[in-house]
Amino acid sequence: MNNKYYEKIDYELLDRKTAYHGKRITVEELHYKNPRTNQMIYREHVLAGNAAIIVPVTDDGNFIMIREPRTPIGLKVLAFPAGMIEKGETAEEGAIRELEEETGYRAEYIKKMLEVYTEIGYSDEKIEIFLAKNLKYTHRHLDETEDIEVVRVPIEDAKEMLRKNEIITSTETVALLHYFMYGS
């Protein structure tokens, strides 16, 4: 990152061990030493990999969104199509794949809007957010465990939902704020 407000951490890594390794995440326990204070620091990191989120915009002024059960919070939430970037593919390729898998739409135009780290206090997950336009319907390719409903949301409705705090997920909030501030 080329930003004068960020700098690399100079903590000394003393030890690292894997506490849990699952299908999607790995949890590590780490001990660091702060060289300025000699203080020992314990951290738990969730290694979640990278993902892509797609903001699909139709020619007639709608977002293509999905409603999907999210078991950690016990709700079906409104979100943009998203998924993990698979080994060997770029974030853009992952975005294109996930859009078609989850919604059935293929984008003739795709552009990276921004990237964010969702939970830097404990996770390395990086999300790359893409804008998709000139959508053509093909067909969906849901994974066997996916329970996804495709929802067309008028852009003005999404703006109002954002204002009323009815969009409750951080990545959708960031994506929508970026879209409304900077457009395409």
Residue 20 reports pLDDT greater than 70: yes
> Band of the pLDDT at 1, cuts 50, 70, 90?
low
CA angle 104, 110, 115 (to 5 degrees): 105
Residue 97 reports pLDDT greater than 80: yes
Range 90-96 average pLDDT: 96
Model pTM? Answer: 0.91
Query: Contact 53/63 with Cβ under 8 angstroms?
Result: no
pLDDT confidence of residue 184: 63
pLDDT confidence of residue 127: 96
Percentage with pLDDT > 70 across the chain: 99
Q: How far is CA 115 from CA 111, 136, 142, in A?
A: 12, 25, 25
Residue 29 reports pLDDT greater than 70: yes
CA neighbor of 144 nearest in space, from 99, 182, 101: 101
Average pLDDT, the chain: 95
CA–CA dist 138, 184 (Å, integer):
24
Range 30-49 average pLDDT: 96
pLDDT confidence of residue 18: 98
Which pLDDT tens digit goes with each residue over 163-176?
999 999 999 999 99
Residue 10 reports pLDDT greater than 90: yes
Give the least confident one: 1-10, 100-109, 148-157.
1-10
The amino acid that residue 40 corresponds to is M
Per DSSP bridges, beta strands 105-117 and 126-137 are antiparallel
For CA atoms 69, 70, 71, 75, the dihedral sign is negative
Which pLDDT tens digit goes with each residue over 111-147?
999 999 999 999 999 999 999 999 999 999 888 888 9
| 7-13-18-23 Cα dihedral, nearest 10 degrees | 20
CA–CA dist 174, 140 (Å, integer):
26
The amino acid that residue 13 corresponds to is L
Percentage with pLDDT > 90 across the chain: 91
Per DSSP bridges, beta strands 50-56 and 126-137 are parallel
Please tell me what DSSP assigns to residue 123: B
